[in-house]
Structure 1
Amino acid sequence: MTSEASELLEILWGRASTAPVSTSQLRVLFILEHSEGINLRTLADALGSTPPSTSRLCDRLQAVGFVERRPGAISRRELRLFLSRRGRSFLSELRLRRERALESVLAQMPAAQRTALLGGLEAFCAAAAAQIHEADELDIRTA
């Protein structure tokens, strides 16, 4: 069921176009949104990629005006990555399109099933947050 739901969400969200960015570039935008000012190496690690590949992704995002590179405060040779105003606006609009697509599906469900889904999603979010928190604490202890 999780596989089917995941695939249906991909199709549904695919209709809420992510153009002009690819899926990989969208991941970069989401990471930068939550970790503004990170350097290229940290971003590459988060993506599980190499710095040259990540740099090319950022080049394309900078070309469309979604990412800004700024010199670091300590070392001017180190560049920090930030979402631009246009990048933030793009993510906001994308989320709005995705929410509208989900709301359209939810509107077709009976009220009792929407209520049950809400309870299930709340439990899912709590379990996922706990798992992420545990992994973060483990990373801190092993570092």
Structure 2
Amino acid sequence: MDRAGRSEVPADDASREVAEAAEALVDCWTRAGRDIPPGLSALQVRALIAVRRCPGVNLSRLAEQVGASVPAASRLCDRLEAAGLLRRFRAFADRREVGLSLTARGDEALTSLAARRAADLCEVLSWMAVEDRRSLVTGLLAFTRAVDAGAPGHRRLGGAD
């Protein structure tokens, strides 16, 4: 049985099916980013999204969220800052701590990326039956809630606590 008391599809069987479907979704999702200036990598996009979700996040927390070491996250932020997408500032509570925030250009890049992703997803979703779309949305929302409620390593920065 699963945590909700249901015994329909074993989690390991479902995980294989979800992994296959996720590959198609990730392919559609990342394809949109290839056409968005300044040609951001997937890791750069993840970092910008994490900073947007949690403005003022410190470098250590960002590194944790993107799965990088602190030095690697610092270099990532160097590149994003040089591109004019991110800015660093001294935290008010602890002047030794560095906070991160998006610049207007960084926010615009994410907004443009989100619009492109939405358009790409809409095109694919239009090929699905209405009931299949509803089921997909319901399932993805349940998945998001499970991620946000799960182990700390799986929680999204700025997600529900």
TM bucket (normalised to shorter chain) is 0.7 to 0.9
Matched, 1:103 2:119: no
Change (3 A) 1:40 1:127: closer
The answer for the alignment partner of 1:121 in structure 2 is: 137
Q: How many pairs align?
A: 134
Q: State the shift of 1:127 in Å.
A: 4.4
Structure that is richer in helix per residue: 1
Residue range with higher mean Cα deviation, 119-128 or 89-98 = 119-128
In the TM superposition, structure 1's runs of 4+ consecutive aligned residues that sit over 6 Å from their partners are none
Q: Pick the aligned partner of 2:40 from 14, 17, 21.
A: 21
TM-score by length of 1: 0.80
Query: How far 1:47 moved relative to its partner?
Result: 2.4
**C-alpha displacement of 1:134:** 4.8
Q: Identity of paired residues, percent?
A: 34
Partner of 2:98: 79
Stretch of structure 1 that moved more, 15-24 or 59-68: 15-24
* Whole-Å separation in 1 of the counterparts to 2:144 and 2:70: 29
Gaps of 5+ in 1: none
Q: Take 2:130 and 2:106, find their aligned partners in 1: how far apart are those partners?
A: 33
Two-structure CA RMSD over aligned residues (Å): 2.2
Alpha-carbon distance between aligned partners in 2 of 1:124 and 1:94, rounded to the nearest angstrom: 20
Q: 1:3 to 1:133 in 2, by over 3 A?
A: closer
Q: In structure 1, what is the equivalent of residue 73 of structure 2? A: 54
What one-letter code is carried by the residue in structure 2 that aligns with 1:40?
L
Q: Is this contact kept in 1: 2:125–2:133, CA < 8 A?
A: no
Cα shift readout 1:116-141 (whole Å, capped 9, x = no counterpart): 321342143134304522546xx9xx
The structure-2 alpha-carbon separation of the partners of 1:87 and 1:53, relative to structure 1 and needing over 3 Å to count, comes to same
Supply the AA of the counterpart residue of 1:117: R
Q: Is the 8 A contact 2:58 2:99 kept in 1?
A: yes
Cα displacement (A) at 1:100: 0.6
Q: 3-state SS of the aligned residue for 2:95?
A: coil
